Chains A and B, each alone.
Chain A
Amino acid sequence: MLRQSRSGRASTGLGRFCLGALGVLLFVLPAWAGEPARVTLRLEAGPDGAQWITARVTDAEGAPVPEASVVFKLRTAFGWLTLEERTTDASGQARTRLPAGTRATEIRAESGDVEGVGATLSVGAPAPESPRVRPGRDVLRALSPQPAFISPRPAPELVALLALVLGGIWATYGYVAWLLWQIRSSGSRS
């Protein structure tokens, strides 16, 4: 009798728990279905050569999430710099244009309030090598009467002038440092 009643109470408690859990699942699941659960990123080149990043936001079931906010970020030496905040369209996509001249770095797109729903993509190309062939003085002279100032390489006379002036000053500093050393040496001897 006692055992029966105990097992009956236990089964009632288990039933209530299951009912409650089912209720919670029924209440929460539809919400999960519409919430951003995954972000994928795609890099595209526009007709004008500009780079575009497209973020696609999907829910837990893989369906696109419209009207979801997407924050695009760019990695800098000091952390993530927010580029733009966009809202997804009906196909769950949001786009942003990369700033011109973006070199090799990472772009991240985050969506929703849940932390960690986002994706990261490496973009950009390393800085191009400098051209190996540089215009000579004769070409530059034809372009400007002051070829020394527009030349990609410093003109020898400019380097010589700067070296003379700065070298003279720093040599004097060196002489002063040597005199200070002499003061120190004579102080320690006496």
Chain B
Amino acid sequence: MSTRQATPRFSEREERLLASLTAGGAGTYALIGGLLAVFLWGLVAYATQLRHGLGVTGLRDHVLWGVYIANFVFFIGVSHVGALMSAILRLTGAEWRRPITRMAEAITFASLLMGGLMPLVDMGRPDRLLNLVRYGRLQSPILWDLLSITTYLTGSTLFLYVPMIPDLALLRDRYAAGPAWRRRLYTLLSLGWQDTPAQRHRLELIMRVMAVIIIPIAVSVHTVVSWIFGMTLRAGWNSTIFGPYFVSGALFSGAAAVITAMAAFRWAYRLEDYITEAHFRRMGYLLIALGLAYGYFTFAEYLTPAYKMATAERGYLTAVFSGPFARLFWFTQLTGILLPLLLLTLPRIAWVPRLHRVPLLRPRPALAAAATYAVASVVLSAASPSLTMAGLNLNQWIPPWVLPTLAVWLFLAFLPVFHARPITAAVVASLLVNVGAWLKRYLIVVPTLLNPFLPIQRAPAGWAVYQPTWVEWSITAGALAGFLLIYIGFSKLFPIVPIWETREAPESREAAVQEGIVGVAAV
């Protein structure tokens, strides 16, 4: 480990790993500026909500939770994988984890901060927040949630911080380019680290302890989040498997977020030697396993009530399967679970490149057909009134089987492309997983509230539907921008790839290099 007496310059390897701190062109500033603008717009929307009350949102007496609580469940879910994955891989000695653990742990930190704010945003009177503690019932899952999230935030911050100490000491000793406050920060946070045997022993002890304890905490947090729903007598929420269902969904979306972050940092800071294709392959395996588990839980969660179709739950199930939420529901199942799994598995089949030999199964004809379909749909929709008046039925012009056929055609045409570019396949799959995950949270929250056991009555007609307003969408966009700003800000202050952990040679280093898990430059 480096000390104050060591050479004051970074090695070439260290400079590459510190690129996120030093590099920053016009693109970076434009990205940060854009995110800041969105975040500030979100603040303006929140100020509007504070000033005029929750009446400016689509929330009413019946749908009292909407987009905000969907955001809350989504962010808390994404926060899962960082600490959990890192802890499990640490305890099992998986060496390939080393370059990606910190970016996973930082996702936990950033998403917990934004997720924790969402219930506050959902409160019409946040000035009464203290009442939750003063008058909260210890028997209520809401208070359990407050306690578990606070505990998890503290634990995951420690879990992120402790392995950073040797890197902070390195920055303290050698980072001279930045402003003085940075060096003071590194000096403060590095806790006088000199890499003595006693310090190293204690650091390793802390990491072992934290890795063990953070696993049950992480699992319990999302279980408690699920209990907020599961402990009510409501159609769609009254379930005994909501705990594991939520945990599996959280791990699935969190692993996808880590893949997206890996690809972004690899691309932005040229970290190809450290975040290799093998990392994406392994994370892909993890995503497949988690996706299958999540798919299983989803199936079990819906099959049980759908098989019985009890009177009280019929309205809710009909709304989700074939009613107003059907398109969204089937979209999340197909695009958020099935398609990512297919993207991660099918391109690995050996004969996939041969598909290009078939002229029709090349990207260009498939794309041309998709574009024709899109144009035809737009034109026919625009001409719809006159066509209907002329006695022509649109359904006869574009039969319903055309869209699924096109989707399959496009998928087959792009399979060889994804075979040649496995990282692109992993990133596309992970983005689809996260979009699907957010939509699924929305589907967990809203349809149940719109289908209470006692019918909505003696209420204005508009209260029986939920339509999020610009305020809610703006705050949601602001929260996402805030999450990204915290994450980028973290990577601008601290090394996003652990320097000392990737330097320390594991016993199986050579084997790892041969396997392609650790690039040659990392050794």
Contact = CB atoms under 8 A, between A and B. Distances in A.
A184 B202 contact: no
Contact of B192 (A150, A172, A187): A187
Contacts of A158: 138-139
Size category of the B interface is 20 to 34
Which of A152, A183, A186 has the most chain B CB within a 10 Å cutoff? A183
A183 B217 contact: no
A190 interface: yes
B158 A173 contact: yes
Contacts of B203: 183
A152 B194 CA distance: 54
Given A78-B51, A169-B155, A173-B158, A186 B196 contact: yes
Interface residues of A, number: 32
B364 interface: no
Contacts of B127: 77-78
Interface in A102-160: 148-152, 154-155, 158-159
B244 to A, nearest CB: 19
Contacts of B196: 186-187, 190
Contact of A172 (B139, B162, B165, B213): B213
B334 interface: no
B154 interface: yes
A79 B198 CA distance: 57
Nearest to A146: B139
B206 A179 contact: yes
A81 B151 CA distance: 36
Given A77-B127, A149-B139, A151-B139, A183 B202 contact: yes
A183 B139 contact: no
Contacts, number: 77
B137 interface: yes
A77 B125 contact: yes
B37 interface: no
A149 B205 CA distance: 40
A77 B192 CA distance: 46
Nearest to A176: B206
Contacts of A172: 209, 213
Nearest to B205: A179
A128 to B, nearest CB: 13
B420 interface: no
A13 B292 CA distance: 97
A29 B152 CA distance: 70
B192 A154 contact: no
Contacts of A182: 198, 202
B217 A186 contact: no
Given A172-B209, A180-B162, A186-B196, A162 B138 contact: yes
Contact of A76 (B125, B154, B165): B125
B511 interface: no
A173 to B, nearest CB: 6
A149 B143 CA distance: 13
B338 interface: no
A187 B193 contact: yes
A74 B162 CA distance: 50
Which of B127, B138, B155 has the most chain A CB within a 10 Å cutoff? B138
B151 A169 contact: yes
B139 A166 contact: no
B188 to A, nearest CB: 10
B380 to A, nearest CB: 45
B53 interface: yes
9 contacts: A81-B53, A82-B52, A154-B138, A166-B151, A173-B154, A179-B202, A180-B191, A180-B206, A183-B191
Given A81-B53, A158-B139, A176-B158, 15 more contacts: A76-B53, A151-B139, A152-B137, A158-B138, A162-B144, A162-B147, A166-B147, A173-B154, A182-B202, A183-B192, A183-B199, A184-B192, A186-B198, A187-B191, A190-B194
Task: Rank and list the top 6 A-B pairs by shortest CB-CB distance, nearest first.
Answer: A187-B192, A154-B138, A77-B127, A184-B191, A78-B50, A179-B202
Interface of B: 50-53, 125, 127, 137-139, 144, 147, 151, 154-155, 158, 162, 165, 191-194, 196, 198-199, 202-203, 205-206, 209-210, 213, 217
